[in-house]
Amino acid sequence: AQTVTQSQPEMSVQEAETVTLSCTYDTSENNYYLFWYKQPPSRQMILVIRQEAYKQQNATENRFSVNFQKAAKSFSLKISDSQLGDTAMYFCAFTLYGGATNKLIFGTGTLLAVQP
């Protein structure tokens, strides 16, 4: 069975600084996808960034980038130039590629507070 672990329940960062959120996962499969979702106070789930396991290059989306270490089963999210609007709960998620089910497996989340 696959599991996703986020070991930082809460984090805080000053506006304009950089913060890294950690995520580790466990799977015996080789082909999968990893995601970071953001859940602001509105509770809407918003996709931040995704990574295919077969790609060695780390994904980037504007101020958001990941450090994907497949051997270590680690998938951290780096937010550069933090903005007040980045304040949210961040969830790491995993899904198998080509499996019978497409379900997402989520971690327990990291609550990020961006301080002015």
**Is residue 108 within 8 Å of residue 24, measured between CB atoms?**
no
Residue 31: phi and psi, rounded to 5, are: -115, 115
Q: Is 106 in the site for other proteins (CB under 8 A)?
A: yes
According to CB under 8 A, which one of 8, 20, 27, 33 is a site residue for other proteins? 33
According to CB under 8 A, which one of 10, 17, 40, 103 is a site residue for other proteins? 103
Distance from C-alpha of 12 to C-alpha of 26, rounded to nearest angstrom? 27
Piece of the chain touching other proteins by CB under 8 A; list 15-23, 41-49, 66-74, 80-88: 41-49
Cβ neighbors of 42 (< 8 A, separation 6 or more) are: none
List contacts with other proteins (CB under 8 A).
Answer: 33, 35, 37, 42-47, 50, 52, 91, 95, 97, 100-109
